[in-house]
């Protein structure tokens, strides 16, 4: 860990403040999108949605070895979190020599990279990770080495999934929060809008294209409104922190956790979950220190060496998950720790639904 650079947070804030007068909004015909991607690829490493066997996944673009066509997709099953916070990450290596341990720092060269086609909820999830990894006196160099080299080009969400609830947690399917540029799909063409100071670097790839016209902006608003209408779940979470303050010992936690298998899938798939463990992998005289994603929904997460486990049952672990995202995050950072992507709902083998839990919390607090 290194001392947090004073300017880092300011830089991140400034990145999202674009002078409205300089806002660039261009029209990209649908059949020109792939050439736009290829243009950006000449200067940046690119992470793009790619057709895999049965689904679309984010992956590195490699135009030397593959043909690429931008696919159709709803929000992807797996978020792009791993590109900045990998599931396994070597922190440094070490070796034993003459009974002394020598540490070899990791030399990581990160190219400037672009995540292209990220949805608004996932862009907001990076803002949450930014806050966590820069909280307190230190900032996490492993995360920020990558984060500070990464630009985000979003794709607004025309077809939210049945599990999406971003509008209940301060998001919007057409939000550009946390993005450097965003594409709005108007059906037959895209609007490409630069949304941060850093994002103005993309001007050179789009400047030849025509400017948006009033009619295009009107159509964009129609798409945005139709997208919001498709979000099936809406709940007012304005008082969620206070609601939870009074429910720590409530019986609801036994009820809402009843079906939970403690498999941890909801937490692994979550774009905002960031707990990690640090382990050494070694063989004879050398090894590496690695951090790996950890998971608060498994019983071993809080198991102490004495055998005592402060979160011994699904009741405590489910409660922890909800408190962490909807109470402790607000207390510590003044933001919610959930972006409403709905992935945890889709992946749960017993159909547990975080929206139902939130509804139970709000209704129970109202009755109390
Ligand atoms: S995915 Fe479902 S069953 Fe597994 S830990 Fe999460 S809530 Fe429990
Ligand atoms: S808790 Fe569920 S809905 Fe919220 S960000 Fe995580 S995976 Fe998405």
The DSSP-derived string for 290-313 is: EEEE--TTSGGGG--TTS--TT-S
Residues 308 and 225 both lie in one domain: no
What's the domain range around 24?
2-230
Nearest-CA residue for atom 2 of ligand 1: 348
Selection from 153, 80, 77 nearest residue 114 by Cα: 153
Residues 356 and 283 both lie in one domain: yes
Pairing of strands 286-293, 88-97: antiparallel
Residues 107, 195: Cα–Cα separation, whole Å? 32
Residues 94 and 115 both lie in one domain: yes
In a domain, 235, yes or no: no
Ligand 2 atom closest to residue 340's alpha carbon, by position in its atom list: 3
Residues 190, 29: Cα–Cα separation, whole Å? 6
In a domain, 191, yes or no: yes
Question: Does the CB atom of residue 173 touch ligand 2 within 6 A?
Answer: no
Residues 73 and 32 both lie in one domain: yes
Nearest-CA residue for atom 8 of ligand 2: 341
pLDDT at res. 22? 59
Whole-number Å distance, alpha carbon 257 to ligand 1 midpoint, is: 9
Domain final residue pick, 168, 199, 230: 230
Residues 180 and 246 both lie in one domain: no
Nearest-CA residue for atom 8 of ligand 1: 260
Residues 303, 356: Cα–Cα separation, whole Å? 29
Residues 253, 352: Cα–Cα separation, whole Å? 13
Q: How many domains would you assign to the chain?
A: 2
State pLDDT tens for residues 142-179.
999 999 999 999 999 999 999 999 999 999 999 999 99
Residues 39 and 91 both lie in one domain: yes
Beta bridge partners of 278: 291
Whole-number Å distance, alpha carbon 37 to ligand 2 midpoint, is: 29
Selection from 20, 25, 11, 2 nearest residue 211 by Cα: 25
Beta bridge partners of 182: 154, 193
Residues 349, 330: Cα–Cα separation, whole Å? 29
pLDDT at res. 23? 76
Residues 302, 313: Cα–Cα separation, whole Å? 11
In a domain, 322, yes or no: yes
Question: Does the CB atom of residue 348 touch ligand 2 within 6 A?
Answer: no
List strands edge to edge, sheet with 25-29: 25-29, 189-194, 181-185, 150-155, 113-118, 45-51, 56-60
Residues 198 and 328 both lie in one domain: no
Question: Does the CB atom of residue 341 touch ligand 2 within 6 A?
Answer: yes
Question: Does the CB atom of residue 354 touch ligand 2 within 6 A?
Answer: yes
Other Cβ atoms less than 10 A from the Cβ of 6: the count is 7
In a domain, 206, yes or no: yes
| CA 354 to the chain's CA centroid | 17
Report residues of the chain scoring pLDDT below 70: 1-22
């Amino acid at each position: 860990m290194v001392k947090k650079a004073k300017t880092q947070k300011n830089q991140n804030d400034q990145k999202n403040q674009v002078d409205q007068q300089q806002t660039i909004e261009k029209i990209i015909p649908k059949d020109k999108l792939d050439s736009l991607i290829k243009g950006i690829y000449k200067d940046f490493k690119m992470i793009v949605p790619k057709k895999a066997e049965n689904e679309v996944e984010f992956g590195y673009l490699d135009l030397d070895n593959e043909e690429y066509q931008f696919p159709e997709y709803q929000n992807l099953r797996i978020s792009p979190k791993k590109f900045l916070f990998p599931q396994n990450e070597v922190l440094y290596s070490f070796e034993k020599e003459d009974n002394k341990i020598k540490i070899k720092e990791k030399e990581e060269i990160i190219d400037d990279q672009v995540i292209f086609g990220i949805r608004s909820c996932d862009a907001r999830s990076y803002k949450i990770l930014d806050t966590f990894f820069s909280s307190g006196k230190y900032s996490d160099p492993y995360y920020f080495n990558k984060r500070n080299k990464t630009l985000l080009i979003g794709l607004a969400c025309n077809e939210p999934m049945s599990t999406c609830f971003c509008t209940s947690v301060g998001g919007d399917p057409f939000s550009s929060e946390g993005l450097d540029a965003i594409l709005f799909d108007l059906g037959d063409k895209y609007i490409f809008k630069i949304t941060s100071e850093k994002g103005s670097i993309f001007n050179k790839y789009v400047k030849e294209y025509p400017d948006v016209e009033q009619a295009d902006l009107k159509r964009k608003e129609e798409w945005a409104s139709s997208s919001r209408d498709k979000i099936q779940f809406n709940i007012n979470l304005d008082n969620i922190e206070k609601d939870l303050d009074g429910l720590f010992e409530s019986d609801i936690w036994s009820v809402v956790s009843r079906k939970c298998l403690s498999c941890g899938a909801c937490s692994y798939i979550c774009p905002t979950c960031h707990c990690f463990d640090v382990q050494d992998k070694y063989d004879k005289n050398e090894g590496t220190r690695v951090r790996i994603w950890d998971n608060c929904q498994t019983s071993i997460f809080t198991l102490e060496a004495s055998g005592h486990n402060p979160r011994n049952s699904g009741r405590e672990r489910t409660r922890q998950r909800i408190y962490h995202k909807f109470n402790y995050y607000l207390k510590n950072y003044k933001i919610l720790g959930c972006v409403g992507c709905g992935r945890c709902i889709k992946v749960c083998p017993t159909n547990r639904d975080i929206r139902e839990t939130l509804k139970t919390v709000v209704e129970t607090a109202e009755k109390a």
